[in-house]
Structure 1
Amino acid sequence: MPLSPEQQAEIDAQRGAPQSTLRTTAPGMEKHLYTAYPVLDHGFVRVIDYMGDDAAICQAARVSYGKGTKSVSNDAGLIRYLMRHWHSTPFEMCEIKLHVKLPVFVARQWIRHRTANVNEYSARYSILDREFYIPAPDHLAAQSTTNNQGRGEALQGEEAQRVLRLLQEDSMRAYDHYEEMISQEGQQGLARELARMNLPANVYTQWYWKVDLHNLLHFLRLRADHHAQYEIRVYAEELCKIVADWVPAAYGAFEDYRMGGATLSAKGLDCIRRMLKGEEVTQETSGMSKGEWREFQELLG
């Protein structure tokens, strides 16, 4: 189950005891506080705390840039200007603290975003639960033939069943041995910090993750992209919904300029200019490598 009874009781208690505050709150975020949103088969993401809103971004920008921003007549316009011109520090004025439950192999991808504060559940002091990520059949895929780090077509029929059986059996066997190795009453056993090394990478862990909005948006730009691995992408997509309610103007600008926009190289921009003049441009005349040209063609649709 995604939430333990103790965690659910804690959430119910927190949501049932609202407190008054003088600080700025974001109504869209208030409705998300403490609520655990399920992700994958046993995971979740929930907001523990946050600071700031769209107005905080503008407030910081106007302090930083002074009279130069007076011509911007509204906050949404200022935020779009900041996003468009890659001004990052005003977005750092907003922060969010999350509680995330996720498979270890997803956590190892996630932790590569080193611009956050992280505190992970310790398997040195506590015993991990018997919970493993087992993909749904439609997410069991073969290795891509064109992308060394991606997936190809989904496995079918008996092959899919064979792989699922191996995943389930190996996970359970590893956990059985983990339990057997841990020190039990009447036997010496192995220290928890050593016994955990036998567990597979699909076992679930949990952590608190605190990050500012600028670095969170960078995380979302990479991990909510359709090229990202499915198992981390679904967490990013859930976070996108939360951020859209928290800072709607900032998220709208982010969708427009980052998620929906594109960055072109000098060669790519030159090719577009030549195409607009009616010139037929090919990979050979573009000055791009085959890989660059393929990505450029995908960008143009």
Structure 2
Amino acid sequence: MSLSTEQLAEIEEQRGQTAPTRRAVSEGLEERLFTAHPVLDHGFVRVIDYMGDDAAICQAARVSYGKGTKSVQNDEGLIRYLMRHWHSTPFEMCEIKLHVKLPVFVARQWIRHRTANVNEYSARYSILDREFYIPAPEHVAAQSEINNQGRGDALQGEEAARVLDMLKSDSMRCYDNYEAMISQDGQQGLARELARMNLPANVYTQWYWKVDLHNLFHFLRLRADAHAQYEIRVYAETMCNIVADWVPFAYKAFEDYRLGAASLSAQMVNCVQRMLRGEEVSQENSGLSAREWREFETIVRGN
């Protein structure tokens, strides 16, 4: 992770400031405020601000029940009920603002989640740093033979070394040309907004990303999944640790009912019921396609 001396000084200054408040405070997240948590080779995630905690979720839920109703129910039990029954608005009462440094190709995946407020570093006004994501050798992998959008086994030996060398040399050459185009040494220099088109997709960008807890959980359910691309999954896993400290009851319910859960179709439920009755169920008599059957077996048999 690369942080400039100025950024480190700013973080220390921010973490050194305290102020009295009457708003809800999450002690776990207070400890993380402003700290940069490293991700990949030059990236990070850090918490800039937040609103709400587990109690805020319960407060929002109980206001819709009417005075006195459900007021004695414990917070953890209520949160688990809300998560289990797919309630959303109580979780929207909590928000978090993150400062994220990430490769451009990861940002393009991330921005598909259109339920957040985003402000990105502008290469029209500023010059991007000479920082590129270069994967570790174990993550330089071949195309998967069974998944068109995934990777297979890691490349080995000379082939892996050749790919890594191309990634490094192409990144540096593109940045050299970027600098040469915008240079005003003996020339006018190309506008930054045009010169940036020459930079590769593994160059790092930064943004502020503000999202409510409901939509953050949706992001994490998809991107912290084992099938998600590694480069975005490690960001999601870092964010999972942050959220677990912020709203521990809500995150535990999310782990149990989303991350660690499985969704079954009506046909799959029927298969489970038949199995429990002692019937022999196979793909041929299940009503499921071959692919659905493979997914079903993975869920119920773990194979």
Q: TM-score, normalised by structure 2?
A: 0.97
* Contact kept? 2:62, 2:71, Cα under 8 Å: no
Q: Which amino acid aligns with 1:223?
A: R
Matched, 1:269 2:269: yes
Residues in 2 aligned to 1:274 and 1:84: alpha-carbon distance in whole angstroms: 25
- Deviation of 1:69 (Å): 5.1
Deviations 1:16-71 (A, max 9, x none): 12122121100010000000000000000000000000000000000123369517
Matched, 1:255 2:263: no
Percent of paired sites with the same residue: 80
- Deviation of 1:7 (Å): 1.2
Deviations 1:277-300 (A, max 9, x none): 111111121111111111111111
Residues in 2 aligned to 1:130 and 1:210: alpha-carbon distance in whole angstroms: 27
Q: Which runs of no fewer than 5 residues in structure 2 stay unpaired?
A: none
Residues in 2 aligned to 1:34 and 1:285: alpha-carbon distance in whole angstroms: 56
Q: Which amino acid aligns with 1:262?
A: A
Residue number in structure 2 paired with 1:217: 217
Matched, 1:4 2:4: yes
Residues in 1 aligned to 2:205 and 2:217: alpha-carbon distance in whole angstroms: 23
- Deviation of 1:262 (Å): 1.2
Residues in 2 aligned to 1:79 and 1:66: alpha-carbon distance in whole angstroms: 18
Residue number in structure 1 paired with 2:78: 78
Residue number in structure 1 paired with 2:190: 190
Residue number in structure 2 paired with 1:25: 25
* Contact kept? 2:144, 2:153, Cα under 8 Å: yes
Task: Say what the alpha-carbon RMSD is for the aligned residues.
Answer: 1.2
Residues in 1 aligned to 2:284 and 2:178: alpha-carbon distance in whole angstroms: 57
* Contact kept? 2:45, 2:99, Cα under 8 Å: yes
Residue 295 of structure 2 aligns to a residue whose secondary structure is helix
Residues in 2 aligned to 1:238 and 1:277: alpha-carbon distance in whole angstroms: 43
Q: Which runs of no fewer than 5 residues in structure 1 stay unpaired?
A: none
* Contact kept? 1:72, 1:78, Cα under 8 Å: no
- Deviation of 1:186 (Å): 2.5
Residue number in structure 2 paired with 1:44: 44
Distance 1:110 1:56, change over 3 A: same
Matched, 1:113 2:113: yes
Q: TM-score, normalised by structure 1?
A: 0.98
Q: Which runs of structure 1 show a deviation greater than 6 angstroms over 4 or more consecutive aligned residues?
A: none
Residues in 2 aligned to 1:114 and 1:151: alpha-carbon distance in whole angstroms: 26
Deviations 1:86-112 (A, max 9, x none): 000000000000000000000000000
* Contact kept? 1:14, 1:34, Cα under 8 Å: yes
Q: Which amino acid aligns with 1:197?
A: M
